[in-house]
Amino acid sequence: MEKKPRFIVPKPKNNTEKDPESIFRELQIPSVKGLWSQQADILRDYYDKYKESGNVAIELPTGTGKTLVGLLIAEYRRRCKNERVIYLCPTRQLAYQVFEKSQEYGIKASILVGAQANYSEKGYGDYLTGNTIAITTYSAIFNTNPKLNDANTIIFDDAHSAENYISSLWTFSLTRKENPEVFRSLIELFKEDISDYNYSRIVREDYEYNKPIYDLVPYPKYLEKLPELVQYIDENISKIANKAKYPWSMIRNNLEACQLFFSWGEINIRPLSPPTLTHSPFANAKQRIFMSATLGEGGEIERITGIKKINKIPIPKGWDKYSNGRRLILFPNRKFNRSESLELTFNAIKEHGRALVLCPDNRTSSYFKQEFSKVHPQIPIVEAADIEENLNPFTSKERAVLLLTSRYDGIDLSEDSCRLLVLYGMPEATNLQEGFLWNRLNANILLKELVKTRITQALGRCTRSSDDFANVLMVDPALLKFCANNDNLKGFHPEIQAEIDFGIQNSENFESIEEVISLMNDFIYDKELFSEINIAITSIREDYEKQIQKSTSALTNSVKYEIEYVYGMWKNDLEWSLEKVKSVLDTASGGKELDGYRAWWYYLAGNTAYLAKDTVASAKKLSSEYYSAALRMTYGISWLAEIISHLSLDSKDVVNIDPYLSLQAENIEDFISNLGLNGGKFEKNVNEFLELIQNDEGEKFEKGISKLGEFLGFESERPFGDGVPDGIWILRDLIWAFEAKSEEDKEHSISISTCRQALGHKDWIKHKKELQKEQDVNVTILSHKDKIHTEAVPHGQELFHLEVDKIRNLSLKITQVLRKIRSMISKENGSSLLTKEHICQIIEHENLTYRDIVELLKDIRVSEMEKGK
């Protein structure tokens, strides 16, 4: 008898409404006896108030059960609302981790990661039919043709870590390393529109670690060359990696809504915020849930996601002072210089065996990897690509460094898997736009909220439960400066405030690197010392409250209009965009700390009006007014000073800003801050400098000249080798070299060989710096002499001379002035636009501007000195 085909009769789906807590009780998870109070509070808040909201953000500190909360909400949406649910993670490793948790909890899920063509057919089918939750990565949604394109609910885990994953879909990113020919061609296209100084640095093949480049092509010049830009990229797109090819297809028809940022090694073309609602797999979801250990206070989650209004479920009351585990946070730069701090870090890694090192960008991580490998070549370095599936390549090794770039969340290293966390580098520039706003435009009121968020996320990587503990090294003068600022400190969670304050105060008292390593070892292995430190930090924790600055509230209020502006520009609705940019400027008003951010928006307003000059009445005049307002607001910022040379402004009241002076002030402010606004490191450095500059011994005097350049706000170098300059000072395209003869007595005249040696420095620098032919290099001979040998006169026509005593008088004066500036910065609680304005005013009053320095260095031409033998 022929066997009949088998079939099933579908059962009606049970739509019985159950809240997430009830679902948890039904699951009867063996490993979870009950919900923690904060988990229950969050789930009730969500169900009672926000289950019908389009956008919801949930804040739960690290180690307080965020994954379970997210999976319970996902299961509620799947089971009770018959919805297709996607749970997004930043990386494959995290997706597998969440999938393992879903299996542990008895929640039906499909893991869909990797190439879309290789998705499990059963897993994908189970998601489509609503039988499972799809667990995947951000890239599965944020690509040009996602297979997972029809979710009803999307849950974003570690939402703050998603910033670059989301924005990458609308960011054309080209690196020098991967596409050197295309990179160089684009730089050449805009050669006339960027500073000669930055251009000369970019065309050089060697890399300058300590002075990164963050720059932006002025918008009118960018618009002017858009046809050439589009034609060139279209013709060369086949040479470019897919990660640039796909974003190009997303932004190509909306390039007027973008800007071009560049550095030594990368070019980005991108809009201000990602226009996510133009991407249907994201936009069509009924509900989007953003989960993070900290949501921040300045509207950054809205800027990251391109959503103008997100309902927030904050940390439940009573948990606002709770933080998982205990960290001993130390700041090596409080006591030691850069090289000593790095040495301390390497020694600590060797002692601990395994360490997690977090860096903000490829430049910083590459430098760390290079230097660490020199000292400890036998200790393997594990990177992001090695832990795509799981953390075993790191945790299985007795000794290893896990080195990650721009990854401050989503790495769970509990207990003995890792007891040392290193934050190497200030986490303010995870992309070129951020780097530009922070380093060039001083718009750090916005970015410091992101910095606080990233530091908070990072601190939770190695302490995953209440009894966990780890050492933390924050290695960067800028990190110390940021955390030591009282206004910044108040923005952290109270427990973190206490740990940072304890760390800063205790980091000053160390006498040696060995003493620091000893304390870190005892914190891990000496239970009595650990208990004392824990009690000390807990006792001061109650004195702290998290406080929101007024300026941060202004950013929260303006974010709605900022996002509306982004979409207006994307649609080329310029009248709408001009209206919204004005709303941003009206809303983001306040004290001086907002000036950098407002200057940025005045610049964007000028760009918008410039774009609209042919279609909107009076837009041309409005453009000039907005650009002028940006310039007036940023006296101490060098980049906006430079746009005067690129824009023809009609306004008569434009402030005449000197970009050289602005940069000199920025460099002085950075130099002082890196030495610390408190403590004895500054005076120690000053005393060492004065000892060097007062010494006639060549080696010491030359070191003093190099330090003097830094004190005066120049970039200062001291090359090594035969026939090289004894010092080089650089300020933009102003380059000065020195030939020091402090060891020679006054009795003899300047010789022919000295002149020839000094003249050779011009060619040496032009070759090494790959300068343009027309770019000049000045050379000053420093000596005790007052005469030139008669036969040397023809060789001294292009050289200058300055007596050593005059350099020493300058040295005494600048140290006194720097003390004054340092006191002023300390009173202002760190960097601000006002700080840079004050520095400009002080050095002008004291006759220490670059103009005054140049005049001194040109004291007399060598050929015009008294003749002698």
pLDDT at 646 over 80: no
* Residue 49 backbone dihedrals phi, psi, to 5 degrees: -120, -30
CB 695 within 8 A of CB 704: yes
- Tens of pLDDT, residue by residue over 303-314, are 999 999 999 998
Q: How far apart are CA 269 and CA 255, in angstroms?
A: 8
Categorize the per-residue pLDDT at 653 as very low, low, confident or very high, splitting at 50, 70 and 90.
very low
Least confident of 290-299, 507-516, 844-853: 290-299
- Interval 80-108 mean pLDDT: 94
- Half-sphere exposure at residue 221, Cβ-oriented, CA atoms within 13 angstroms: 18
Give CA torsion, residues 443, 446, 449, 454, to 10 deg. -70
DSSP 157-225: TTGGGGHHHHHGGG-EEEETTT-HHHHHHHHHHTGGGS-HHHHHHHT-SS--SSS---EE--HHHHHHT
Exposed, middle or buried by CB within 10 Å (0-12, 13-18, 19+), for 194? buried
Its sign, for the CA torsion 699, 700, 704, 705, is negative
Burial code (b: 16+ CB inside 10 Å, e: under 16) for 320-355 equals ebbbbbbbbbbbbbbbbbeeebbbbbbbbbebbebb
Measured CA to CA in angstroms, residue 296 lies from 58, 212, 552, 802 at distances of 11, 27, 10, 54
Q: Can you tell me which residue has the tokens 């730089």?
A: 187
The tokens for 785 are: 């002499």
Least confident of 244-258, 572-586, 783-797: 783-797
pTM: 0.81
Categorize the per-residue pLDDT at 15 as very low, low, confident or very high, splitting at 50, 70 and 90.
low
The tokens for 735 are: 């380059």
Q: Please report the pLDDT score of residue 236 as a whole number.
A: 92
Contacts 24+ apart (CB under 8 A), 183-188: 183/267, 185/232, 185/236, 186/229, 186/232, 186/267, 187/262, 187/267
Task: Tabulate helix, strand, coil % of the chain (nearest 5).
Answer: 55, 15, 35
CB 581 within 8 A of CB 605: yes
Q: How far apart are CA 185 and CA 191, in angstroms?
A: 10
Q: Can you tell me which residue has the tokens 């980005």?
A: 268
**Largest Cα–Cα separation, the chain:** 126
Q: State the DSSP H helix or E strand holding residue 609, giving kind and residue range, or none if neither.
A: helix 595-611
The tokens for 725 are: 């300059």
Categorize the per-residue pLDDT at 593 as very low, low, confident or very high, splitting at 50, 70 and 90.
confident
C-alpha closest to that of 387 among 396, 379, 378, 374 = 396
Q: State the DSSP H helix or E strand holding residue 420, giving kind and residue range, or none if neither.
A: strand 420-424
The letter for the amino acid at 311 is N
Q: Please report the pLDDT score of residue 275 as a whole number.
A: 97
- Interval 474-482 mean pLDDT: 90
Measured CA to CA in angstroms, residue 103 lies from 31, 97, 106, 571, 620 at distances of 11, 10, 5, 44, 61
Categorize the per-residue pLDDT at 411 as very low, low, confident or very high, splitting at 50, 70 and 90.
confident
DSSP 633-685: H-TT-HHHHHGGGT-----TT-----HHHHHHHHHHHHHHHHH-SSSSHHHHH
Contacts 24+ apart (CB under 8 A), 620-626: 620/650, 621/650, 622/578, 624/649, 624/650, 624/651, 625/651, 626/602
- Tens of pLDDT, residue by residue over 824-837, are 777 665 555 567 77
Give CA torsion, residues 248, 254, 258, 261, to 10 deg. 30
CB 554 within 8 A of CB 299: no
pLDDT at 651 over 50: no
C-alpha closest to that of 640 among 602, 594, 613 = 602
pLDDT at 293 over 70: yes
Its sign, for the CA torsion 538, 543, 548, 551, is negative
Q: Which of 223-232, 329-338, 651-660 has the highest mean pLDDT?
A: 223-232
- Interval 131-146 mean pLDDT: 95
CB 268 within 8 A of CB 248: no
Q: How far apart are CA 78 and CA 80, in angstroms?
A: 6
Classify 11 as helix, strand or coil. Answer: coil
Q: Can you tell me which residue has the tokens 């720097």?
A: 818
Q: Please report the pLDDT score of residue 135 as a whole number.
A: 98
The tokens for 708 are: 């003097």
Q: How far apart are CA 636 and CA 628, in angstroms?
A: 15
Pick the more confident residue, 101 or 644: 101
> What is the 3-class SS of 688-701, one letter each residue?
HHHHHHCCCCHHHH
Q: Please report the pLDDT score of residue 517 as a whole number.
A: 95
Q: Please report the pLDDT score of residue 37 as a whole number.
A: 86
- Half-sphere exposure at residue 150, Cβ-oriented, CA atoms within 13 angstroms: 9
Categorize the per-residue pLDDT at 210 as very low, low, confident or very high, splitting at 50, 70 and 90.
low
Q: Please report the pLDDT score of residue 183 as a whole number.
A: 93
Classify 267 as helix, strand or coil. Answer: strand
Measured CA to CA in angstroms, residue 291 lies from 91, 319, 430, 455, 468 at distances of 15, 17, 20, 17, 23
The tokens for 165 are: 């994953």
Q: Please report the pLDDT score of residue 13 as a whole number.
A: 63
pLDDT at 389 over 90: no
| Average pLDDT over the chain, rounded to an integer | 88
Q: Are strands 860-861 and 799-803 parallel, antiparallel or unpaired?
A: antiparallel
pLDDT at 658 over 90: no
Q: How far apart are CA 555 and CA 172, in angstroms?
A: 27
Q: How far apart are CA 689 and CA 708, in angstroms?
A: 8
Q: Can you tell me which residue has the tokens 């909201």?
A: 53
- Tens of pLDDT, residue by residue over 701-731, are 999 999 999 999 999 989 888 889 999 999 8
C-alpha 580: how far from chain center: 27
User: In which region does residue 25 sit, left (phi positive, over 0), alpha (psi from -120 to 50) or beta (all else)?
Assistant: alpha
Q: Please report the pLDDT score of residue 740 as a whole number.
A: 93
How many helices (H) and strands (E) the chain has is answered by 35, 25
Q: Please report the pLDDT score of residue 636 as a whole number.
A: 45
Instruction: Count the Cβ atoms, other than its own, within 10 Å of residue 860.
Output: 15
Q: Please report the pLDDT score of residue 348 as a whole number.
A: 97
